[in-house]
Structure 1
Amino acid sequence: MRKVDHDSRREEVAGAAASLIANRGLEALTTRALAKELGCSIGVLSHYFSSKEEIVIAAFRWADQRIDLRMQEAIADDSPNIESFFPVIKAGLPLDAESDLEWRVRLNLQTFALTHGDSLQAEREKNKQFRDLMTIMIAGMQAKGHVTKQLSAEEITSVAFDLVNGMAKNLLMCPFEEREEKAEYLFKLIELLKQPA
């Protein structure tokens, strides 16, 4: 079997696992349920993944990669300023059905990670990569005079990271039609980071 086929099948399994987790909870993710969802045997699954935890980590990465891709597309601005930072924050929130599914996966897996070492390490590494990326972006905005220097880029990153994560969890509890409005105050807070004229 070619590697591209193998990787494609692993991606398909990870996506199906993510969907099960998002819609029915982590406890619903069994190899039997996953095999049924994919229309294959349990033996086929074991060809691609050696354990349930490996499947869980793959589902976590599947969701994270999709969130990351949206955020990286939003970061594509060559001359970032506060206004160009809004789409980055927005891309990280569960404001539509696709990002809602991804965040449901993330929250289920964050709980799982607390008691599973490999998953916890994957979560820590992911958080560090994202924080590093955001810190570079904010430092760039500070260097160009767009963002206050009263706080370091690392401090602003920590505040933004914690606010977005907390808000994402809270938004999942709200109906879709209320989410945009509830997220508005976060953008008002970000406005306060502008460098005074």
Structure 2
Amino acid sequence: MRKVDHDSRREEVAGAAARLIAEKGLEALTTRALAKSLGCSIGVLSHYFSSKEEIVIAAFRWADQRIDLRMQEAIATDNPGLDSFFPVIKAGLPLDEESDLEWRVRLNLHSFALTHEDSFFAQREKDQHFSGLMLEMIASMQKQGKLRDDLSAEDITHIAFDLVIGMAKNLLMLPLEERETRAAYLFRMIEQLRPPADPC
């Protein structure tokens, strides 16, 4: 089997596992249920993954890579400023059906990661990556005078990162149609990071 086919099939399995976790919880992810959702045998799954934990990590990465891609697309701007920071924060929140699924996977795996070492390190690695992307953007905005500098880039990053994680969890408890309104205060807080206007 060609590597591209193997990788594609692993990605398909990871996506199916992620959807199963999002819809029914981590306890519903069994090799039997996963094989049934994919229309294959358990033996076929073992060809791509050697254990359930490996499948769980793959599902986690599948969801995180999608969030990561949206954040990188939001960060990719030739003229970073506070206005371009809003889409980065928005990209990290569960405000539509796609991001809702991804966050349900992430939060199901948080508790799993606390008792499974490989998942724990995979989780921590991705959190550090997201935080690093945000720090680079904030530091760049401060350097260009587009963000207030009386707070360190590191402190702003930690505050924003922790607020997004906490808000994402709380938003999942609300109907989709209420989430934009509930999240509005976060963007009002971020607005306070705009540097004061130069006196005339």
Deviation at 1:150, TM superposition (A): 1.1
Q: Which amino acid aligns with 1:8?
A: S
Which whole-Å CA distance do the structure 2 matches of 1:112 and 1:141 have between them? 36
List aligned pairs for 1:155-174, cutoff 5 A: 155-174=155-174
Deviation at 1:35, TM superposition (A): 0.4
Deviation at 1:151, TM superposition (A): 1.1
Which whole-Å CA distance do the structure 2 matches of 1:50 and 1:196 have between them? 56
List aligned pairs for 1:35-46, cutoff 5 A: 35-46=35-46
Structure 2 SS opposite 1:145: coil
Q: Which residue of structure 2 aligns with residue 133 of structure 1?
A: 133
Q: CA offsets per residue over residues 124-178 of structure 1, 9 Å max, x none? A: 1111111111111000000010111111111100000000000000000001110
Q: CA offsets per residue over residues 173-197 of structure 1, 9 Å max, x none? A: 0011100000000000000111112
Q: What is the TM-score when the length of structure 2 is the normalising length? A: 0.97
Deviation at 1:69, TM superposition (A): 0.7
| Gap runs ≥5 in structure 2 | none
Q: Which residue of structure 2 aligns with residue 16 of structure 1?
A: 16
Q: CA offsets per residue over residues 65-104 of structure 1, 9 Å max, x none? A: 0011111111111111111100110111000000000000
Which whole-Å CA distance do the structure 1 matches of 2:78 and 2:120 have between them? 34
Q: Which residue of structure 2 aligns with residue 70 of structure 1?
A: 70
Which whole-Å CA distance do the structure 1 matches of 2:36 and 2:129 have between them? 35
Which whole-Å CA distance do the structure 1 matches of 2:186 and 2:104 have between them? 21
Identity of aligned residues (%): 77
Q: Which residue of structure 2 aligns with residue 53 of structure 1?
A: 53
Structure 1 SS opposite 2:78: coil
Q: Which residue of structure 1 aligns with residue 151 of structure 2?
A: 151
Q: Which amino acid aligns with 1:11?
A: E
Q: Which amino acid aligns with 2:37?
A: E
Structure 1 SS opposite 2:40: coil
Q: Which amino acid aligns with 2:123?
A: E
List aligned pairs for 1:95-110, cutoff 5 A: 95-110=95-110
Greater alpha carbon shift after TM alignment, 127-136 vs 179-188: 127-136
Structure 1 SS opposite 2:111: helix
| Gap runs ≥5 in structure 1 | none
Which whole-Å CA distance do the structure 1 matches of 2:7 and 2:196 have between them? 50
Which whole-Å CA distance do the structure 2 matches of 1:195 and 1:135 have between them? 17
Which whole-Å CA distance do the structure 1 matches of 2:171 and 2:129 have between them? 24
Structure 1 SS opposite 2:84: helix
Structure 2 SS opposite 1:95: coil
Segments ≥4 residues shifted beyond 4 Å: none
Q: What is the TM-score when the length of structure 1 is the normalising length? A: 0.99
Deviation at 1:27, TM superposition (A): 0.1
Q: Which amino acid aligns with 2:174?
A: C
